[in-house]
Each structure stands twice: as C-alpha cells, then as structure tokens.
Chains A and B, each alone.
Chain A
Amino acid sequence: DAMVIQNPRYQVTQFGKPVTLSCSQTLNHNVMYWYQQKSSQAPKLLFHYYDKDFNNEADTPDNFQSRRPNTSFCFLDIRSPGLGDAAMYLCATSRDGRRGNEQFFGPGTRLTVL
C-alpha cells in the first residue's frame, strides 16, 4: 500500500544534542510537509517542499532545518533541541499544491528531550 512512513516512531535525545527525523513516501507526491504538534493541539506547519523548492514558515525557529534529497525522502534536523521542542512531529504529503488535494499524514515521531 502506498503510504507515508516516519522513522523512528519514538526518539529520545538530550538537551542540545542534534537529532534527525526521517520521512519517506511511496505516493510519488510532489509536496512534502513537516508539522509540529504539541499535546493534542492543532498541528503547526514548520516548512514544506514543493518538489525541490523549500518554503519556510516565518515563525519556524532557525534551530529547525530540513532536507529533501529526492522525491521520496524528507528529513527534519533539529540542531540543538531544547525542552520546548518535545512534541509529535508529523510528516505529510500531497499530490500537488492544488487547494482541493488532501494531505496524507505519516504516523508521526514523538520526540522527547531530556
């Protein structure tokens, strides 16, 4: 089945220790998104790629970076995680940027910062 896969599902890191979360998709979708979600709140968009074009949200901290080496994979790098970065990180894809297209979400990676 075509899907969005996130690894790992649970990640524990130490304060200030860099961490990378990964997302892969078999849907061959053009657009990939990274969201941060804290304690049952609405997901907050961090950035997205339309193909290789990177779009950063204005309020995304510089501590968060992303890479998309090819259509299938996208990575979220947190350079120096703080306690406030503990959250669920959700990857999503959509076929293209058209407004009527729904987004498909992965299962998420829950990040714990000690």
Chain B
Amino acid sequence: AQSVAQPEDQVNVAEGNPLTVKCTYSVSGNPYLFWYVQYPNRGLQFLLKYITGDNLVKGSYGFEAEFNKSQTSFHLKKPSALVSDSALYFCAVRDDNTDKLIFGTGTRLQVFP
C-alpha cells in the first residue's frame, strides 16, 4: 500500500536560514509526489510535484523539493526562510490503485524573526 511519512511534527528555523521539511514515501509503482501548504483557516495550496524527469523540482514561493529514489524521500527545501512561510505543510502521494491522494500527517513550520 502506498504511504507517506512526515517524521517531524514541527520544524523551527530562523528567518534567513535554509529550511527543510522531510517526507519519505512508499509506493509499489512510479511515485507521483506532491507538496501542499496550508495557512491558518485556509485550504491547501499546491506548491510543487514530482512526476518524472529532473530530481530537483522547483515550485511556488521559492520552494523546491529533491526526489531521491534510493532513499525514497521527497524533502521540501527553501534556501532562505521567511516569517510568512510559517504554515502547515503536507506531503502527498498518488495511490497507484485508486488515484487518490494519500497525505502525510503534516509538519508545522515555524519561522522566527
């Protein structure tokens, strides 16, 4: 069965520092991986996805993610964090059998000034 794991409930980083939000996945076929961000009392916003091709995927708001097949990871990164990046981040994988999105448990990112 497909699954994603976000091992950190919360990540704290100082503004201007690089940030990483971790995600590992388990799939039986080719992975279709997504990152979403959720601000308080808002819906989820799509950040980026990996389907095939380059392992480094660039997305919205300066975020990028690195697909690593050998480590089955898809970590979200940003070179320089902003206070406004503080939000809840969800990693998701598309289920091979049902095409549904399977979400991780979410990681709360807190960027301190």
**Given A43-B44, A105-B44: A100 in contact with B49 (beta carbons within 8 A):** yes
The bracket for how many chain B residues form the interface is 20 to 34
List the interface of chain A (C-beta within 8 A of B).
4, 6, 40-43, 45, 48, 88, 90-92, 97-100, 102-108, 110
Bound Cα distance A88, B20 (Å): 27
1/0 contact string of B27-53 vs chain A (CB within 8 Å): 000001010100001111110010100
Q: Are B101 and A105 in touch, CB under 8 angstroms? A: no
Q: Are A102 and B103 in touch, CB under 8 angstroms? A: no
Residues of A within 8 A of B25 (CB): none
Interface stretch (choices B11-19, B66-74, B77-85, B104-112): B104-112
List the interface of chain B (C-beta within 8 A of A).
32, 34, 36, 41-46, 49, 51, 88, 90, 94, 96, 99-101, 103-106, 108
Bound Cα distance A19, B101 (Å): 27
Q: Are B46 and A104 in touch, CB under 8 angstroms? A: yes
**Given A40-B108, A42-B104, A42-B105: A103 in contact with B46 (beta carbons within 8 A):** yes
Bound Cα distance A108, B50 (Å): 26
B33 CB to nearest chain A CB (Å):
10
Q: Are B32 and A105 in touch, CB under 8 angstroms? A: no
A89 CB to nearest chain B CB (Å):
10
**Given A90-B43, A108-B43: A40 in contact with B100 (beta carbons within 8 A):** no
Give the interface centre of B46, B96, B101 by most chain A CB atoms within 10 Å: B101
Q: Are B46 and A102 in touch, CB under 8 angstroms? A: yes
Residues of B within 8 A of A6 (CB): 43
Partner of A99, one of B45, B99, B104: B99
